[in-house]
Amino acid sequence: MSEAASDTDVINADGILFPNDPRIISDRIAKRLERGGYEEREANAVRQVLRRGDRVLELGGGIGFMSSLIGRSRPPSEFHVYEGNPKLVPFIRRVHALNNLDNITVHNTLLSVDATDDIPFYIRKDFLGSSMDRNNEPDTIIETAMVPQKPFSEVVDTLQPTFLVCDIEGAERMLLPTADLSCLRAAVVELHPQWIGQDGVQEVFDAFNKAGLTYFARSSHGKVVTFKKR
């Protein structure tokens, strides 16, 4: 297999197609995609609360799985994905193209509280382990990219999303309380209590409560929590 597999070499994950590119898709991820267990809890929550025609904002695009699931199952009226890793963004776009999804805008932008300056993003050999943290396994860094930032509150004010999907590895505590989320009808958030602690989890719940959304137990499971408008 060549380092960059062609789009004719694909993985079928319950009807969603992925280029089998070993630079992005490890053997472990490939097996989970093929078996239907990739992001299972988050996917189940989204299926339960998403509505056709929602204006969707996704924080953390990953490999494009969740945005493709949403785009195929209940097409939104508008869809914006924010992903900070510049090596993942082209792959996400390949996934969308492979699945004939042309109504999703992918931004290579890091959302912040109020900063707008470009910020270093450290690319690691395992692209999915890349981050803004230079001190985490610095010997694995193979490249440094400067990525633009944009205030999260500005994005929300401009897009006025009705549905939020968020999986940003602990940054939920920092970002979510900084914007007026009252435009949302529902949200699915993967929490990371191992990094944000119980106080951080409470701050996320308080942010949605302030916006008029409450915890929806039926479609929540473990660290994946759902909020809906009262």
Query: Is pLDDT above 50 for 1?
Result: no
Residue 6 lies in a domain: no
- Per-residue model confidence (pLDDT) at position 23: 87
pLDDT tens for each residue of 79-92: 999 999 999 999 99
- Structural domain including 47 reads 41-229
- Alpha-carbon distances, residue 30 vs 12, 18, 38, 85, 143 (angstroms): 9, 9, 9, 20, 25
Residue 31 lies in a domain: no
**Interatomic CA distance for residues 123 and 142, integer angstroms:** 6
Query: Is pLDDT above 60 for 208?
Result: yes
- Alpha-carbon distances, residue 165 vs 2, 54, 63, 66 (angstroms): 34, 12, 14, 9
Lowest-confidence pick of 61-70, 131-140, 149-158: 131-140
* AA letter at 25: I
Lowest-confidence pick of 63-67, 119-123, 163-167: 119-123
- Per-residue model confidence (pLDDT) at position 2: 38
Tokens representing 14 are: 């319950």
**Interatomic CA distance for residues 64 and 95, integer angstroms:** 6
Residue 36 lies in a domain: no
Residue 108 lies in a domain: yes
pLDDT tens for each residue of 15-74: 999 999 998 999 999 999 999 889 999 999 999 999 999 999 999 999 999 999 999 988
Q: What is the CATH number of the domain that holds 152?
A: 3.40.50.150
Residue 15 lies in a domain: no
**Interatomic CA distance for residues 218 and 225, integer angstroms:** 10
Residues 59-96 as b/e (b if ≥16 CB within 10 A, e otherwise) read: bbbbbbbbbbbbbeebebebbbbbbbbbbbbebbbbbb
Residue 151 lies in a domain: yes
Query: Is pLDDT above 90 for 129?
Result: no
The residue behind tokens 């025609």 is 53
3 state SS of 167 = coil
> Could you tell me whether strands 213-215 and 224-229 are parallel, antiparallel, or unpaired per DSSP bridges?
antiparallel
Residue 8 makes CB contacts below 8 A (sequence gap 6+) with none
Backbone φ, ψ for residue 79 (5° rounding): -150, 125
Residue 205 lies in a domain: yes
Q: Which residue has the higher pLDDT, 136 or 18?
A: 18
The residue behind tokens 């490939």 is 30
Domains contained in the chain, number: 1
Mean pLDDT value of segment 117-144:
86
Strands (E), 43-159: 55-59, 78-82, 105-107, 110-112, 119-124, 141-147, 149-151
Residue 17 lies in a domain: no
**Interatomic CA distance for residues 203 and 209, integer angstroms:** 10
- Per-residue model confidence (pLDDT) at position 8: 54
- Per-residue model confidence (pLDDT) at position 4: 45
